[in-house]
Amino acid sequence: MTAFPERAGEIWVYLSANPLFWLTAVLATYLVADRIAETCHRHPLANPVLISTAILATLLLSTHTSYQTFFDGAQFVHFLLGPATVALAVPLYRNLGRVRETLVPMSCALLIGSLTAIVSVVLIGGLLGLPVAILASLAPKSVTTPIAMSLAKANGGIPALTAAFVMLTGIFGAVIVTPLMNALRIHDFAARGFAAGLSAHGLGTARAFQVDPLAGAFAGIALGLNGAVTAIVTPLILPPLLHLLGA
């Protein structure tokens, strides 16, 4: 009979390569993170995605597990993002009256907000001396991952790096939106939700749903619309911006 530590090692080798283990780990970590967020009275800093990501990333790095192995299990959760995006039609439909009333402010906020998100990140990054490939990867950071990645690819960026930037933007936006809007005394949930969805895509939308259903509906609209606007605008304004920076 093999000694226990040796057997434990074997079991770990089996488990850590098994989709079941990482799928369970994602769900369990989320439950723990959500409980922590609840204990902190949903304080914006106690964001469940932020906490879960930190725990799981630490676990992967300390056990030398590849992201691919992790994703073999986590993909079952990841897959539900598609149907969940489709499900955004329900709050949109329920709040249609409110949406119709705000068509004009929404269009203005969409155009100006979208340009701000793209131009500011490229200019600041450029002034701080980031290389062109990283700037092009940063430009679509405020939109949902699939759009952002294809935009990075088309404009000289690195799609995989863009995916990381999109996540960092989403987590930061979700954490900051509530305190920022309170500080600015903007209490209109339509405006708050719209800003969250535009600036921080799905993660901002998830945060908006935690706060208020109307905010969630507007965040969902902003996420979809800004994806389209950014896709059209980025190829037009990125080259002159980079030229301006002398890159």
Partner 1 sequence: MIAAITGLLFCQLLGEVLVRVLMLPLPGPVAGLAFLFAFLSLRGRDQGDGRPAPVPLELAKVCDTLLRSLSLLFIPAAVGVVQYIGLLRSYAGPIAIAIVISTTLALIVTAGTFRLVSRLHAFRRKTPPENIEAALDEARHP
> What residues numbered 109-148 form the site for partner 1, per CB under 8 A?
109-110, 112-113, 116-117, 120-121, 124-125, 128-130, 134, 138, 141-142, 144-147
Taking a C-beta distance cutoff of 8 angstroms, is the pair 181, 204 a contact?
Answer: no
Contact mark string toward partner 1, 161..200, x via CB under 8 A = x-xxx-xxxxxxx--xx--xx--x-x-x-xxx-xxx-xxx
Asked if residue 81 binds partner 1 (CB under 8 A), the reply is yes
Nearest distance from residue 7's CB to partner 1, in Å? 29
Nearest distance from residue 146's CB to partner 1, in Å? 4
User: What residues contact residue 220 under an 8 Å CB cut-off, 6+ apart?
Assistant: 88, 91, 92, 197, 205
CB atoms within 10 A of CB 99: 18
- How many angstroms separate the Cα of 70 from the Cα of each of 8, 15, 23? 20, 11, 8
Among positions 210, 212, 245, 247, the unique one binding partner 1 when judged by CB under 8 A: 210
Which residue number, 3 or 42, has a Cβ lying nearer to partner 1?
42
User: What residues contact residue 52 under an 8 Å CB cut-off, 6+ apart?
Assistant: 26, 29, 30, 32, 33
Asked if residue 214 binds partner 1 (CB under 8 A), the reply is no
Nearest distance from residue 11's CB to partner 1, in Å? 23
Asked if residue 91 binds partner 1 (CB under 8 A), the reply is yes
Which parts of 26-55 interact with partner 1 (CB under 8 A)?
26-27, 29-30, 34, 47-49, 52-53
User: What residues contact residue 32 under an 8 Å CB cut-off, 6+ apart?
Assistant: 51, 52, 55
Which parts of 3-22 interact with partner 1 (CB under 8 A)?
none
Nearest distance from residue 18's CB to partner 1, in Å? 16
Taking a C-beta distance cutoff of 8 angstroms, is the pair 138, 165 a contact?
Answer: yes
Taking a C-beta distance cutoff of 8 angstroms, is the pair 226, 170 a contact?
Answer: no
CB atoms within 10 A of CB 59: 15
What beta strand segments (E) does the chain contain? Answer: none
Q: What is the DSSP string of 96-114?
A: HHHHHHTHHHHHHHHHHHH
Asked if residue 106 binds partner 1 (CB under 8 A), the reply is yes
Asked if residue 207 binds partner 1 (CB under 8 A), the reply is yes
Total residues contacting partner 1 by CB under 8 A comes to 107
Nearest distance from residue 99's CB to partner 1, in Å? 11
Which residue number, 45 or 108, has a Cβ lying nearer to partner 1?
108
